[in-house]
Structure 1
Amino acid sequence: MSGFAIKGWCPDAWRPMETGDGLLVRIKPRLARLPREQARALCALADRFGNGIIDVTRRANLQIRGVNETGWRDLVRELVELGLVDADRRIETLRNLLVAPDWAQGDDSHRIACELLARLGQLPDLPGKVGFVVDAGAAPVLLDEPGDFRVERGATGGLILRAAGRSTGVELAAGNEAGMLVALAHWFHDSGGALAGRMARHDAPLPDWATGAVPPAPPVAPMAPGSTPQGTAHGAPFGQAEAAVLARALADPAIKGLRITPWRVLLFEGAQSGAIPGLIASATDPLLRAYACPGAPFCPQASVATRDLARQLAPAISGNLHVSGCAKGCACPHAAAVVLTGRDGRFDLAHNGRAGSPADLTDLSPAAVLAHFGVA
């Protein structure tokens, strides 16, 4: 028995997910950006219809938590009116696009992402977790982020089309990038990819037109808290922020917009440097290396509380820390230096592994975990 349930689909606004604190409603900001007034309106909706907590996801989406059944439809109606949710449920389901968050108006990432969004109606039906990546800046920044059909900067300097699970891709002609993404999605559908669920698990040979030997260019580091050419970036502890915290920051008229990254970092366009209480201002803050799911009681699959323990432990851990409410490991899919996995109300401890990895120590209480790492 796995001890947890794998949903096989991702929530969105039209199909919310039940959690321990109510419905979870996912919003997919176009180009991972909200203009300032749109972001402020979203914060107000999170307070009116949810519990005032906003998640920042690994796909650069936002999630309103704690929505009840009575208010959900009114919330969705207002999100549609704001332009944050598509009125066409099928289009909203297909709008799974991760774009390099440092795009600039008219550059390759911006151009290709806009063209793909305009062609979503041409896509076949795809499994719920399947998505696109447009990473067409001077160097890739999204190589470690999930996505099935990818346009990336290649090692030769041009753009390549690459299918997830393949280490190389094929060079693209300028202006045809979005069309090739759509074509690759159709090939995936027509070749039985739905049975595999994801491109990386689909072992059918790629068609000749999607086969190439060009690897992605060497990546650059992801955005971290601090000053950027476009404003100031701040970390969201455990990928979560209070709507009131964001709203206070967005009251500054110098801010032009809010960009969402897949690294639990928010970019306030036009903002000057400075701390925002409730967010992470320093790139060296140990909480940036700490991953923890909502845990109990917020997730019905978790048997332990997670985030308070992670906050206490993070300064004592060298390397990444992952505290998971169950063996599913939603918060951190990659290996971490220290992994604590909840099981029957206690923790199993592993090193250099993932949630559910074979444990070095088992059946630990939170107090025993803290004592093990010398945290008073």
Structure 2
Amino acid sequence: MLSGDGLVVRVRPFRGELNRAQVLGLCDLAERFGNGLIELTSRANLQLRGIAQEDHLALLAALEGLGLLDLDPSFEARRNMLVAPDRSPGDLTDRLCTGLLEALPRLPNLPEKMGYVIDTGARAWLGEAIGDFRLELAENGALLLRADGVALGRPVSEAGAIPAIIELADWFVGTGGRDNGRMARHVAKAMLPEMWQRAAPRAQGWPEPGIDPELGAVLGVPFGALEPEALRGLVAQSGASALRPLPGRMLRILCPQPEAALHPGFVSAPGAPEMRASACPGAPFCPAASVETRSLARTLARRASADTDAGGSLHVSGCAKGCAHPRRADLTLVGRDGRFDLVRGGAPWDPPSLTGLDPSHIPDAIRSA
């Protein structure tokens, strides 16, 4: 993708994991070809920014050497998958992942951003993750396929799970879903048959930074911006064999002693104000943005930790697309013509309550709005 500072090159880790060599290799590539940062996306992918056009092919060759490219670019475009972060080789999550990878070429042509969630680990980790087709578990352990935007899912067997995804995808396409773009938008307009709405998934969860009993070390990455120096230090300090990017701008560190992964360059405790804030790169890095975003988001997040009126989730977006957090937040600031519009309890494209705010006036405007 072309951005204001060059190309953005996205990397989708296979089965949601990067081994040690791949992590260190990406650090080198970010410094050699990019702007010196590795970004975590909302779908637990990684991306390098600021790539010059003339360096693109050399970067792709280096990524291929690290084992991070699909042989077929069209297959990579369909491989929008999130898997439970406690996946182990041969377990249910891993088997479903294998089945879905094999089935992707047989699925109908879906809109580019549609994706899949396999949330069948020890707990429901991915309740807030974006995904149109969701393989989940009910409280009794039964496997469900649930369409995003619908509270209930369809019980399926393991053998029937992938055929059911194909069937639901065919229903989506056959009922005009391509025009709506995403499953949640489509089911709000189309009548999803009752057979797909029979059982509730278990309570939805979300990992927190710190030492988790099942996941081990989980670290937060403010604004999803990974600095290669800090990442190398984390790998060396922890002896990590692999990293698993998570939605919500977090990393699971696979290492012998989880406590060794508590690196000062990352958030290692729940409740950090920076982890409640989302912000895109903003200007000058994105041509759609007319405002700087991340320093404002960091300032507001820290103030909010001591100001209950400004607490909750915060999103500072360079434009109305809302790439960093394309959904509701308690407080959203949207850049427009060098200033900001303020949206309370909505998404970046919702009507604002205040418009044309100078950045220096925003804290007072938030308190008085």
Instruction: State the TM-score, normalizing by the size of structure 1.
Output: 0.87
Q: Where does 1:89-100 land on structure 2 (aligned, <5 Å)?
A: 89-100=73-84
Partner of 1:5: none
Partner of 1:240: 225
What letter matches 1:242 in structure 2? E
Partner of 1:27: 11
Higher helix share: 2
Deviation readout 1:107-165 (Å, 9 max, x if unpaired) = 22122112211332322322111111111124422232221112111244301111223
Local SS of the residue matching 1:351 = strand
Equivalent in 234, 237, 246 of residue 261 of structure 1: 246
Q: 2:321, 2:348 within 8 Å by CA — same for their partners in 1?
A: yes
Deviation readout 1:215-274 (Å, 9 max, x if unpaired) = 211123x11211134431211111111123212222347211001101100111115325
Q: How much does 1:101 deviate?
A: 1.6
Local SS of the residue matching 1:93 = helix
Partner of 1:272: 258
Tell me the number of residue pairs that the alignment of Structure 1 and Structure 2 aligns: 356
- Does residue 78 of the first structure (1) align with residue 65 of the second (2)? no
Local SS of the residue matching 1:176 = helix
Q: Where does 1:1-376 land on structure 2 (aligned, <5 Å)?
A: 17-202=1-186, 203-206=189-192, 211-220=196-205, 222-228=206-212, 229-252=214-237, 254-270=239-255, 271-273=257-259, 275-317=262-304, 318-372=311-365
Local SS of the residue matching 2:158 = coil
What letter matches 1:264 in structure 2? R
The verdict on how the C-alpha distance between 1:372 and 1:185 changes in structure 2, with shifts beyond 3 A counting, is closer
Deviation readout 1:180-229 (Å, 9 max, x if unpaired) = 22333344334443232222233554567x52411211123x11211134
What letter matches 1:321 in structure 2? L
Identity over aligned pairs, percent: 44
Q: How much does 1:362 deviate?
A: 3.0
Determine the C-alpha separation between the residues in 1 that align with 2:215 and 2:240.
10
Determine the C-alpha separation between the residues in 1 that align with 2:328 and 2:178.
28
Determine the C-alpha separation between the residues in 1 that align with 2:180 and 2:351.
27
- Larger mean CA deviation between 52-61 and 41-50 belongs to 41-50
Local SS of the residue matching 1:180 = helix
Partner of 2:308: none
Local SS of the residue matching 1:152 = strand
Determine the C-alpha separation between the residues in 2 that align with 1:134 and 1:156.
17
Q: 2:342, 2:353 within 8 Å by CA — same for their partners in 1?
A: yes
Instruction: State the TM-score, normalizing by the size of structure 2.
Output: 0.89
What letter matches 2:137 in structure 1? R
What letter matches 2:258 in structure 1? Q
Determine the C-alpha separation between the residues in 2 that align with 1:313 and 1:165.
31
Determine the C-alpha separation between the residues in 2 that align with 1:187 and 1:335.
28
- Larger mean CA deviation between 28-37 and 101-110 belongs to 101-110
**Structure 2 segments unaligned to the other structure (5+ residues):** 305-310
Determine the C-alpha separation between the residues in 2 that align with 1:188 and 1:40.
41
Q: 1:52, 1:244 within 8 Å by CA — same for their partners in 2?
A: no
Q: 2:17, 2:244 within 8 Å by CA — same for their partners in 1?
A: yes
Q: How much does 1:364 deviate?
A: 2.1
Deviation readout 1:315-357 (Å, 9 max, x if unpaired) = 2212122212122222223332322221211122333333244
- RMSD of equivalent CA atoms: 2.2
**Structure 1 segments unaligned to the other structure (5+ residues):** 1-16
